[in-house]
Amino acid sequence: MNTFRLKFGEGVSFLGLNDERFKTVRIAIHFLTPLENNSAAANALVPGLLLRASREYPDYTELGCHLADLYGASVYADVDRFGPLQVLSISGTCLADRFALEGEKLSEDLASLLCSMAFSPILYDRTFDVSGFEIERRQLLEAIDSEFGDKRILARKAATKMLLSPEYSCVSRYGEREEIERMTAKRCTDAWRVMTKKARIEISVIGNCDPKVIAEIFRPAAERLERQKSEFQFITLPEKPKPESRKDIQDVAQAKLVLGFRTGTNLLSKETDALRLVNVMLGGSPNSKLFMNVREGQSLCYYCSASFDSASGTILIDSGVAPEKVKKAREAVLREVDAMKRGDFTEDEVDNAKRYLRDAYRTVFDHAGAIDSWFLYRCFLDHIPTPDETADRIGMITREEIISAASRLSLSAEYLLTGGGVDA
Amino acid sequence: MLENWVRHEKIGEEYLNVRHKSGLNILVYPKPQFHGVFAIFGTKFGSIDCAFRKDGRILRCPAGTAHFLEHKLFEGEEGSAFDRYAKTGASANAYTSFDKTCYLFSCTDHAEESLRILLSFVTQPFFTDETVEKELGIIGQEIRMYDDDPNWRVMFNLLGGLYHSESVRSDIAGTAESISAITPEILYEFYNKYYNLHNMTLCVAGRIEPETVVSVADEMLSQTSEYEDTNVYQEEDDSVVSHFVRQKLSVNLPLFELGFKEQVKKGQRVSLADVAATDVMLSMLASDFSPLYRRLLDSGLINESSFGSELFEVRGYASTIFSGESREPERVAEEIRKEIESLRCNGFTEDRFMRSRKSLYGKNVAYLNSAESIGSSLSALSLAGYGLFEYIDAIAAVTPMDVERRLAETMRDSHCVLSIIDPVE
């Protein structure tokens, strides 16, 4: 693996990976900061505001034309949640220089553009353009509204809120709606300034280029940042005395049942790999207990799967089920969780899950986006293992470790979205 | 067995095209430096294929049969294909669309064995009354899930407004009622017709040798009789059914799809050159660097995460579609129609054309970045009768006159339908 890392300053890192297998170059700047009620909304608007225009291309359409001229380069703004953190990202992808028909330096052009956007955005009277801000605010509100129409996402969000509170902020990764409605361009500009000062900043370039050249494009701007040392805490969520429960009624044909489990671990815990394996065995593959027994065996639902969040040490099991079968599906899911805790699984199930995970890890380095995510979400570890190292570690996990990890699952949140007709 | 290497000099890559002795078309795109392998085995049988001629009769199937078959093939006489894949570590899936059904896997180790599993379970059907009955519950749930999906519903409502033919209007999964009429006999009849290797393609990309793929095909596949296309396509009137379709669902923000119907000969496809010209045309008209996009965005009528355009194109049917979320979908539709007319009447600059063509060319080359995207593109294009690099070259070959011709021939107000999903009050 041909990676190198540089430190540009306190909490500002650069990751470069030259990989000629790819036809593209992917460049990203990630800001990681605590997800808090008083800053989430302003922060969530920043990536979109940064990408609207730049000093070199102050008009939105002019910028779009320039990207099109770079053989269809694209830029993206993302807002994500990672345990207690809000992750604000701007990224871009372009064709590798070798495909440019007239020798254009596509990756350097894109890098300069993103660097300028991230660290020296175009401001008017030291503030983001107000008309651009109005558009971004409207779009963020519409993004929240749009999630309402995706019932699976809606149900998972509701369950996650219950699962992580009160220890983690309940605020969504976009912030609260009322806060977004009250937001101003000035407050967003202030939020950007705070991010450049205090957020952990991870810059990455992955693909068919010379990352050292790209590093030197970012270095001056990154080293000029006035930085403050920040500490990031990954707390361990304790067991809840009683699971929190909520039911919502909407006009839907299929009910969404989400069960949330705490495990008393976090990103830095030694049980994390065993919990990944537990997650796959329980509901992370087509050979998992939930797929085989709840879906295939009892035809109770179309999907029934588990997902593990290592940052918060939580597992969500979500399913789409007929309203009249919710009680049966819930009992079936909890039976499978108990089976894992009791060690009621075969060596075959263990081997299958290990093979599935090993395979998944080994393909990480076939995708630039997956490589970026791999390093980003492990940037707090002292040593970032490679996917192969992680695959090998998973392969050595014992039956006892699996049972020990599974026994940590504690039902902490239950959310049901249904249209009615529930057999309560 | 006929084989030839297809190379693209500018991209600097190549793939092997094999007409296997069994009748199957095999395409192998070696990427020896990748860790993984992606394989996709597809047949030209989708939700629009619901009748064919046999022995002087017309055999018809209920809506959702192709999708039902896709589910059932995973369950063989000796057990589930997923159980077999578990031994190789492969991640497997399948999908059914309007005009094809595809079975796929990706893996890093044991690619050869995973390929054997793929070829074996897709070519060895096993359907019984019990297994069919069991699947009704699962697919019933899938149908309900899509009933709640506003993006799915806005599209199928649009198709319902554009087309008279039941085959294209019907949901790919069918309805709870239609799938209850599916029997093992129907599944076998349609399986035997459409899952003929001459009607299918196997595409493999990644860290695998072509010889390995061909050798597994030699081992697993028998020669099949020639395939005769006896599809009975429904007549499709040139007119639309209704210019306006509206439904309320549990959403907070209205969604819309604006479609313009094209006349396509029964069972035929829009030519690749016209597909490419349409894509360049749509880029000029509605991409994020177009004047229309800017006006709609600045007016608060669209948002960047949802607005887009595409050519919906399958055997016998084609429509240009604009879609997105908007609090005023009718206004968006009006602005789009005005812009089309303006472009048609006033023309466009060379710059605007070149920019769109260059951007599309670059995006399509960039797309060939992973075994999954290469394999998927190979499969989609070969099932439509084209080579992988042909589409990229077709984009590069589009001329301003081609775009003018598509502007003149398509997107007519008389053939326009607006589908809207509104919030429930």
Chain B residues whose CB is inside 8 A of the A287 CB are: 82-83, 85-86
Q: In chain A, where are the structural domains located?
A: 2-224, 244-418
- B114 reaches A (C-beta below 8 A): no
| Residue A266 contacts residue A232 (beta carbons within 8 Å) | no
Here the tokens at position A167 are 């220890």
Cα separation, B349 vs B277, whole angstroms: 16
Closest CB to B89 among A148, A254, A356: A356
What rounded mean pLDDT belongs to chain A?
Answer: 95
Residues 164-223, chain B, touching A (beta carbon < 8 A): none
Are the beta carbons of B92 and A151 separated by less than 8 Å? no
B137 touches chain A (CB under 8 A): yes
Distance of CA A257 to the CA centre of its chain: 22
User: Pick the residue with more confidence: A301 or A79?
Assistant: A79
CATH number of A2-224: 3.30.830.10
- Contact between chains at A72 and B369 (C-beta distance less than 8 A): no
Nearest CA-CA distance, residue B292 and chain A, Å:
11
Strand order in the sheet with A85-95: A3-9, A12-18, A200-207, A24-34, A85-95, A74-82
Question: Which residues of chain B have a CB within 8 Å of the CB of A254?
Answer: 141, 144-145, 147-148
A305: which residues sit within 8 A by CB, 6+ positions away?
Answer: A283, A284, A288, A290, A291, A317, A318, A319
B48 CA: distance to closest CA in chain A (Å): 24
Supply the pLDDT for residue B382.
Answer: 97
Instruction: Show residues of chain A in contact with B375, CB under 8 Å.
Output: none
Which of B82, B145, B251 minimises the CB distance to A320? B145
Q: Which of B150, B152, B176, B104 is nearest to B373 (CA)?
A: B104
Q: CA B44, CA A110: separation in Å to the nearest integer?
A: 41
Verify whether the Cβ–Cβ distance A352 to B86 is below 8 Å.
yes
Chain B: nearest CA to A261, how far in angstroms?
25
Residues of A in contact with B138 (CB under 8 A): 295-296, 299, 301-302
Q: Could you report the per-residue pLDDT of A93-149, keeping only the tens digit for each?
A: 999 999 998 999 999 999 999 999 999 999 999 999 999 999 999 999 999 999 999
With 0-12 / 13-18 / 19 or more C-beta atoms within 10 angstroms meaning exposed / middle / buried, residue B70 is buried
Any A CB within 8 A of B358 CB = yes
Contact between chains at A65 and B90 (C-beta distance less than 8 A): no
CB contact under 8 A, B362 and A70: yes
Alpha-carbon distance A246 to nearest alpha carbon in chain B (angstroms): 19
Q: Sign of the C-alpha dihedral, residues B89, B145, A340, A289?
A: negative
Chain A positions touching B328 (Cβ under 8 A) are none
Looking at beta carbons, which residues of chain B come within 8 Å of A368?
Answer: 369
B250 near A CB under 8 A: yes
CA distance A232 to chain B (A): 31
DSSP line for B382-425:
HHTT--HHHHHHHHHH--HHHHHHHHHHS--GGGEEEEEEEEP-
Any chain A CB within 8 A of the CB of B424?
Answer: yes
Name the residue with tokens 């977004």: A180
Strand positions, DSSP E, A10-84 = 12-18, 24-34, 74-82
Are B74 and B410 contacting, i.e. CB atoms less than 8 angstroms apart? Answer: no
Contacts of B293 in chain A (CB under 8 A): 61, 64
Mean pLDDT of B195-203: 98
B297 inside 8 A of chain A by CB:
yes
Q: Stretch B319-343: mean pLDDT, rounded?
A: 98
Interchain CB distance below 8 Å, A23 and B369? yes
- Neighboring chain A residues of B150 at a CB cutoff of 8 Å: 149
* Chain A touched by B289 (CB under 8 Å): yes
> How many CB pairs (< 8 A) connect A and B?
186
> What pLDDT shows up at residue A32?
97
The verdict on B299 touching A (C-beta cutoff 8 Å) is: no
Bridge-based pairing of strands B317-325 and B244-249 is: unpaired
For residue A364, the chain B residue with the least C-alpha distance is B35
Chain B, residues 71-100, CB within 8 A of chain A, namely 80, 82-83, 85-92
Contact status, residue B18 vs residue B220, Cβ threshold 8 Å: no
Say yes or no: B234 contacts chain A, CB-CB below 8 A.
no
- Does the beta-carbon distance from B11 to A99 stay under 8 Å? yes
Chain B residues closer than 8 Å to A296 by CB:
80, 138
pLDDT value of position B229: 95
- The arithmetic mean of pLDDT across residues B141-152, rounded, is 93
Exposure class string for B265-285: b at 16+ Cβ within 10 A, else e: eeeebbebbbbbbbbbbbbbb
B144/A254 Cβ within 8 A: yes
pLDDT recorded at residue A56: 96
Q: In Å, how far is B59's CA from the nearest CA of chain A?
A: 30
Nearest beta carbon to residue A142 from set B108, B250, B253? B253
* Residue-level pLDDT at A170: 81
Q: Is B70 a catalytic residue?
A: yes
CB contact B153 to A (< 8 Å): no
Rounded Cα gap, residues A50 and A30, in angstroms: 12
Task: Count other C-beta atoms under 10 Å from residue B346's C-beta.
Answer: 7
Amino acid residing at A395: G
Band of residue A423 on the pLDDT scale cut at 50, 70, 90: low
Best residue of B9, B29, B144 to probe chain A, by most A CBs closer than 10 Å: B144
Q: What residues of B are in contact with residue A252 (Cβ under 8 Å)? A: 148, 250
pTM of the predicted model, to two decimals? Answer: 0.96
* The pLDDT of residue A422 is above 90: no
Confidence of residue A424 (pLDDT cuts 50, 70, 90): very low
Q: What share of chain A is helix, strand, coil (3-state, %, to 5)?
A: 45, 20, 30
The pLDDT tens digits for B30-65 are 999 999 999 999 999 999 999 999 999 999 999 999
pLDDT of the residue at A378? 93
Q: Name A248's bridge partners.
A: A417
Mean pLDDT of B384-388: 95
Which residues from B are below 8 Å from A362, CB to CB? 35-36, 108-109
Min CA distance, B239 vs chain A (Å)? Answer: 32
B252/A contact by beta carbon, under 8 A:
yes
Q: What is the CATH number of domain A244-418?
A: 3.30.830.10
Q: Which of B75, B133, B256, B304 to mutate to test the interface with A (most CBs of A within 10 A)?
A: B304
Domains A2-224 and A244-418 share a fold: yes
Strand partners, A303: A320
Chain A residue nearest residue B299, CA to CA: A135
CB contact under 8 A, A68 and B371: no
B33 touches chain A (CB under 8 A): yes
Band of the pLDDT at A265, cuts 50, 70, 90? very high
The one-letter amino acid code at A26 reads R
Amino acid A217: pLDDT: 98
Catalytic pick among B3, B9, B14, B70: B70
